[in-house]
Amino acid sequence: MPPVVVVAPTVCRFTLKHTVSGGRPCYCSVDVSIDEFGSTRHAAIASTATGVRNAWQTNMVPQANVGTTFTGISWVDLDSEDGETGSLSPDGARPLVGMQSGAQTPPNVSGLIKKRVSSARGTRSGRMYWPPLSEGGVDDAANLASGTRTNLETAAGAFNTAIQAIGVGIVGTVAWRVVHVVGHGPPEPGYPNGKPNEWSSSDITSITVDSKVATQRRRVRK
């Protein structure tokens, strides 16, 4: 069954790519709204891609385990059905490898970053799984150490602030957002509730890190 083509006005989806110990890939997706005042859509995306990559390497990569390596950023423009795609290599002058020392947690164990929005959809406002943590930051009851949690929350907040600053004097208004499904077609095989056919998005107003680690079963499989 072909994937559903997501069309979310003004939004470009960026994928931050890493490898973790053992060479496994680990991806984090970030949806960013771009209002390209005084610029073309292509130029606005190019400027934003560089800004997102730089903000991620500066703020987020240092919070990863030493076995995690940032390998680059790719994107797909969700503003239309045929939005452009592209990719960008890491900035060699910024952090490339995680700075949290110690043995890495199993590959299916990660931090859980929760995104909060101001809309009524706040109970389903999105989450992001953080690459494997250091074992020293997790206790036997699967709790994140307070320092690990605080540092990750601070870094994610700084990343959000840096995203907003990308637009100043360059491409207009830029914001980290959460994409929501707001419309469905009629029921059909494989989509009993109807295939999603309409999307909107909301600004992220705050970010928290769950006190418990999260697990993803599919992350231990190839």
Phi, psi of 205, deg, nearest 5: -95, -25
Is residue 80 situated within a structural domain? yes
Is residue 213 situated within a structural domain? no
CB 75 within 8 Å of CB 45: yes
Its domain, for residue 167, covers 11-102+145-203
Is residue 4 situated within a structural domain? no
Q: pTM score > 0.75 for this model?
A: yes
CB atoms near residue 113 (< 10 Å)? 22
Is residue 221 situated within a structural domain? no
CB 19 within 8 Å of CB 25: yes
Is residue 131 situated within a structural domain? no
In which element (H, E) is residue 144 found?
none
Q: What value does the mean pLDDT of the chain take?
A: 87
CB atoms near residue 205 (< 10 Å)? 13
Q: How big is the chain, counted in residues?
A: 222
The number of distinct structural domains making up the chain is 1
CB 43 within 8 Å of CB 36: yes
Give the lowest-confidence range in 84-98, 148-162, 190-204: 190-204
Place of tokens 């999307």: 199
Give the lowest-confidence range in 65-79, 93-107, 185-199: 185-199
Is residue 198 situated within a structural domain? yes
pLDDT value for 222: 43
Is residue 137 situated within a structural domain? no
Is residue 66 situated within a structural domain? yes
pLDDT value for 1: 58
